[in-house]
Homo-oligomer: A and B are copies of this chain.
Amino acid sequence: MTPAAQLAQFAQTATPPEASLQIMQLSLADWVTVGRAGRSEPVAKIIRQMVLAEGGQGRASLFGDPTPQPPRAAALANGTISHALDYDDTHFAHIGHPSVAVLPAALAVAETENASGADFLTAALIGVEASIRVGLWLGRSHYQVGFHQTATAGAFGATLAAAKLMNLTEEQIETALNLVATRSSGLKSQFGAMGKPYNAGIAASNGVECAQLARLGMTAAADGMASGQGFGPTHHGTLETAPFAADGIWHFDRISHKFHACCHGTHAALEALSQIAPQITGEIQKIEITTHPRWLSVCDIKSPRSGLEVKFSYAHTAAMALSGVSTAALESFSDEVATDPALQALAKRVTVTSDAEMAETAATVLVTTASDRVEVSYDLAHPISLTALSDKLAKKSAALLGEPQAKALWHMIEKGSDPSQIGAVLRGV
C-alpha cells in the first residue's frame, strides 16, 4: 500500500482514545487563544486584507473580521494569523507546529460542512497525527536541508482533516493526498520574516484545496508521496520507516505548548520559578539559575533595555516571575517593564551558570532569602498531567485574552467544540 492509501485507511478506521481527544481539545483552545492574540499583528492584517479583497462567499470564519469566507481563503488567513506570534504548540518528534497547519483547515471545512463538534475534533486529531507521521517519514534530512515541516508535512495533515470532514470516500482521500504531494511547499529560510507564519497558512490552504479538488473528481499520481519522483524522494526525505498504519500509538499526545511569551531557553527556569514563588517570604538575596551552556549565548542579556531584549534575559524574566508579572502575557514584554527600577534591582541579584551535563530542556533555580533557601529543578521534556496542562493553558489564555473571554472560550470548547461557536470567537473584533 502507498503512504497515501495507508493514511486514507487510517483516516477512515482510526478511533482516537479519549485522552488524545482531550489533549486535542486543549490544543484547540490554545490555538484559538494565540490566533485571537495575534489578530492585529502586521502579517495578520496583510493576509486578511488579501483574502477580504477577493470578496469570496462562504461560511468559514476569519480571525479578526466578521465576514464569512470560502474555506480555502479562511484556511490560508487563519494559518498565517495563528502562527504570527510563534506562540502555538510544537511537536518535537519531527519539529513542526501541527495545530497552525491543520486546525485552520479543519475548522474552515467543519464550519462549511456544518460538522458536529465531535466530528470536528476527531478529524482535527487525525489530521495532526497524520502530519506528525508524515513528518517522521520525511525525517531529519528533510528538515535539515531546509524544509519547514510545519508547512510540508502539515499540508498532508490538513488535507486529511479537510477530506474527512467533507466525508470523502477512502479512495478520494487517497487521491487528495497524492494531489497535495504536488502542491505542498515551505522553507525554513523564511524564519525571521513574515514568510514563516505564511508557511502555516500555505499548508492549511493547500489541504483544503486538494480535498475539494479530489471531491470534484480531480485525479492525481498513483503514488504522489513515495514513488521515485514523488514528494518524499524529491524533497530529501529520509523515508526509513513508513509509520502510517494505525498502530494504537498517538504521537500527538506528546505535543508541547508554550507558556511564556519569551525565548524558549528561559522556559525551564520560569517553570521552576513558578513553583518557587509561592514558597518565598521575605526579601530575596540571591537567585541562582543553572542551565545548559547553549542558552548562555541566546538568552542571558544581563541588563535588557527594551521589551524585546527582556525576552532574552534570564535575569529580568526571573525578576518578573518572582514579582507577579505574567511572563505569559504579550504586554509584559514592554519597555516600561524593562526599565522598571524594582525589577531591575531584583534582576541584579540573579546569577546564571551553565552545566553541560544538564539536558537542554532543563534548568535548576535556587532562591535564597534571609531565612530560607528553595531549590527547584524543571525539565520541559518531563510529561505533566492533563489537569496541570489544562490549568497552565487556561492561565495562558487568560493572560492573552483577559479572564472573561478566556473563561468563555474554555467553557465552550469543553462543552463540545462546536465549530460555529468557535467560529464566532474567531470573528469577534
Bitwise interface map of A from 37 to 57 toward B, beta carbon under 8 Å scored 1, else 0: 000001100110110011111
Contact for A57 among B54, B148, B187, CB less than 8 A: B54
User: What distance in Å separates the Cβ of A272 from its nearest Cβ neighbour in chain B?
Assistant: 35
User: What distance in Å separates the Cβ of A59 from its nearest Cβ neighbour in chain B?
Assistant: 11
Determine which residue in A47, A146, A148, A184 has the highest number of CB atoms from chain B within 10 A of its CB, and name it: A146
Bitwise interface map of A from 176 to 212 toward B, beta carbon under 8 Å scored 1, else 0: 0011011111111111111100110010000001001
| Docked CA distance A235–B192 (Å) | 21
- Look across to chain B and name the residue whose beta carbon is closest to the beta carbon of A188: B229
Which of A6-14, A124-132, A214-222 touches B? A214-222
B179 touches A195 (CB 8 A): yes
| Docked CA distance A230–B230 (Å) | 20
B193 touches A219 (CB 8 A): yes
A145 touches B219 (CB 8 A): no
B221 touches A198 (CB 8 A): no
- Look across to chain B and name the residue whose beta carbon is closest to the beta carbon of A53: B70
Contacts of A70 in B (CB 8 A): 53-56
User: What distance in Å separates the Cβ of A139 from its nearest Cβ neighbour in chain B?
Assistant: 15
Contact for A182 among B72, B186, B223, CB less than 8 A: B186
B182 touches A216 (CB 8 A): no
Within 8 A of B (CB), among A69-104: 70, 72-73
A189 touches B54 (CB 8 A): no
Contacts of A43 in B (CB 8 A): 218
Contacts of A185 in B (CB 8 A): 182-185
Q: Tell whether A224 is near chain B: CB-to-CB under 8 Å.
A: yes
Q: Tell whether A231 is near chain B: CB-to-CB under 8 Å.
A: yes
A213 touches B182 (CB 8 A): no
Chain A interface: which size bin?
35 or more
B187 touches A234 (CB 8 A): yes
Contacts of A199 in B (CB 8 A): 182
Contacts of A222 in B (CB 8 A): 193
User: What distance in Å separates the Cβ of A140 from its nearest Cβ neighbour in chain B?
Assistant: 14
Q: Tell whether A147 is near chain B: CB-to-CB under 8 Å.
A: yes
| Docked CA distance A229–B188 (Å) | 7
Contacts of A189 in B (CB 8 A): 181-182, 221, 223-224, 227-230
A187 touches B193 (CB 8 A): no
Q: Could you jot down 21 A-B contacts, CB within 8 Å?
A: A46-B216, A54-B54, A54-B58, A55-B55, A56-B57, A56-B70, A145-B233, A146-B229, A146-B234, A147-B234, A178-B195, A179-B198, A182-B185, A182-B189, A182-B190, A187-B224, A189-B229, A193-B222, A195-B219, A195-B224, A198-B218
Instruction: Please give 16 more A-B residue pairs, beta carbons under 8 A apart, in addition to A46-B218, A56-B70, A146-B230.
Output: A49-B216, A50-B216, A54-B56, A55-B56, A56-B56, A145-B229, A146-B234, A147-B234, A178-B195, A179-B190, A182-B185, A182-B199, A189-B227, A190-B220, A190-B221, A198-B213
